[in-house]
A = this chain, B = another copy of it.
Amino acid sequence: MSRSRGPSIEDVAREAQVSVATVSRALRGLPNVAETTRLRVEEIAQQMNYRADPSAARLATGQTKLVQLVTPTADGWYFSRFIAGAIAVLIANGYETISHPVANPEEREAFISDLVRLEKRVDGLIVVDLNISEDAALEMHNAGIHAVTAGFTTQKFPSVIIDDYHVGFLATDHLLKLGHTRIGLISGQPNHPLAFSVPGLRLAGYTGALAAAGISIDTTLEQSGMFTAEGGRRAMERLLDLADPPTAVFAMSDEMAFGAWGALQDRNLSWPDDIAIVGVDDHELAPLVGLTSVRLDPRGLGGIAAKQLLALIANDGEHGPSSEAIQDAAEAVNSRIEVVARTSTIG
């Protein structure tokens, strides 16, 4: 029962009484094919259920029309949407996407040491949320690999990023405007083994906003943990245990904010009466608990990452004219970042 192969281009050529070259050209819409010929070939190909074998095409052209998506966190709220956005754009452009999660630091190392050899397997990489060293990035770049990063930056590759400073600033500023002066922070771990730069930037936005308001920084108000409800809960408990607890908290994700909400419940506290909270992501469940949140557009940003990569592939490293359009799109996404106010901060 060996795997049957369908009709080949030769079969089509024979049937259509032309050469394989003509079939190839006709089917790919290349110029210099008589219209009548093209029509005939197309019809016959259709009839025979012919499809070019992608492996053969890849071998001949050296282009795989494949993009690899590398990420440690395929099921987080933010990145699962980012990924969906990227894949949608890639498919619309004739690319398929290989998902390759790296579950732990060892896999991450194995992956990175493999990166350089990846060149033949895919046309490009979207590396999400995975802190690659400058050295590794340089090596990849020298090997001619096209990549776009998200959630962290390198010198050599374009990265599609949210203006995370802005996110932190906006959230904190929202609380400041409500009159809070003692504002806690529930942060993601800045030095996670599969680390990325988001926590650092949002932290900077937080301190920046405080500084702009002339409020001095109290680092006991900065608690960090995993980007999960459980992490948020624990961080909140630490804040509540403080001798002088905050009156408001900026949580770096809604999932963390949900955990913080849980911690409040446990102590029979609620927002905004006892503590005001603002999260990030505008999670579907945020409205349910009245969580104020900074709305992002992960799907849109994923799409931009894909476009960026496609541009890179198209120019094979040269900077093409399309990059401005992409910049504009990225800025548009960033300009759409905004606080969605709900009861958690309406004091």
Interface set of A (CB-CB < 8 Å, partner B) = 1-6, 49, 51, 53-56, 58-59, 62-64, 66, 69, 74-75, 80-81, 83-84, 87-88, 91, 96-101, 103, 116-117, 119-121, 144, 228-230, 233, 255, 258-259, 261-262, 265, 284-285, 287-288, 316-318
Cα A289 to Cα B45 in complex, Å, equals: 58
Cα A324 to Cα B101 with chains together (Å): 29
Total copies of the chain: 2
User: Closest residue of chain B to A317, judged by CB?
Assistant: B1
Q: How far is the CB of A344 from chain B (nearest CB, A)?
A: 13
In contact, A88 and B103 (Cβ under 8 angstroms): yes
Which of B53, B91, B101, B103 is close to A120, meaning CB atoms less than 8 Å apart?
B53
Known: A55-B59, A87-B101, A97-B99. 19 other contacts (CB 8 A): A1-B316, A3-B63, A3-B316, A4-B119, A5-B62, A6-B120, A51-B120, A55-B55, A55-B58, A66-B98, A69-B99, A87-B100, A91-B101, A96-B100, A97-B98, A233-B288, A258-B285, A261-B288, A262-B287
Please determine whether B1 and A318 come into contact, CB atoms closer than 8 angstroms: yes
CB distance B88 to A80 under 8 Å?
Answer: no
Contact (Cβ within 8 A) A284 B229: yes
Can you list 15 pairs linking A and B with CB atoms under 8 Å apart?
Answer: A1-B318, A2-B316, A4-B144, A55-B56, A74-B83, A74-B87, A80-B80, A83-B99, A84-B101, A87-B100, A88-B101, A91-B100, A91-B101, A96-B98, A262-B288
Q: Which 6 A-B pairs have the closest CB atoms?
A: A55-B58, A262-B288, A75-B80, A55-B59, A51-B117, A1-B316
A54 and chain B: residue at smallest CB distance: B121
Nearest-Cβ distance from residue A194 to partner chain B, whole angstroms: 15
A128 to chain B, nearest CB (A): 13
Closest to A62 in B: B3
A144 CB contact (under 8 Å) in B3, B63, B120, B255 = B3
In the complex, residue of chain B having the shortest beta-carbon distance to the beta carbon of A3: B62
Contacts of A96 in B (CB 8 A): 98, 100
Chain B: minimal CB distance from A15 (Å): 17
Contacts A64-B55, A285-B258 given; does A6 touch B119 at CB 8 Å:
yes
A49 touches B285 (CB 8 A): no
Contacts of A100 in B (CB 8 A): 87, 91, 96-97
Cβ–Cβ < 8 Å partners of A55 in chain B: 55-56, 58-59, 64, 120
Chain B residues near A69 (CB-CB < 8 A): 99
Most chain B CB within a 10 A radius of its CB, from A53, A97, A117, A230: A53
**Which residues from chain B contact A144 at a C-beta distance below 8 Å?**
3-4
- Complex contact B49–A53 (CB within 8 A): no
Residues of B within 8 A of A262 (CB): 287-288
The CA of A233 and the CA of B285, in the complex, are separated in Å by 11
| Minimum C-beta distance from A151 to chain B (A) | 17
Q: Are A5's CB and B99's CB within 8 A?
A: no
Of B56, B59, B66, B229, the contact of A285 (CB 8 Å cutoff):
B229
B84 near A75: Cβ-Cβ < 8 Å: yes
Residues in B whose Cβ lies below 8 Å from that of A66: 98
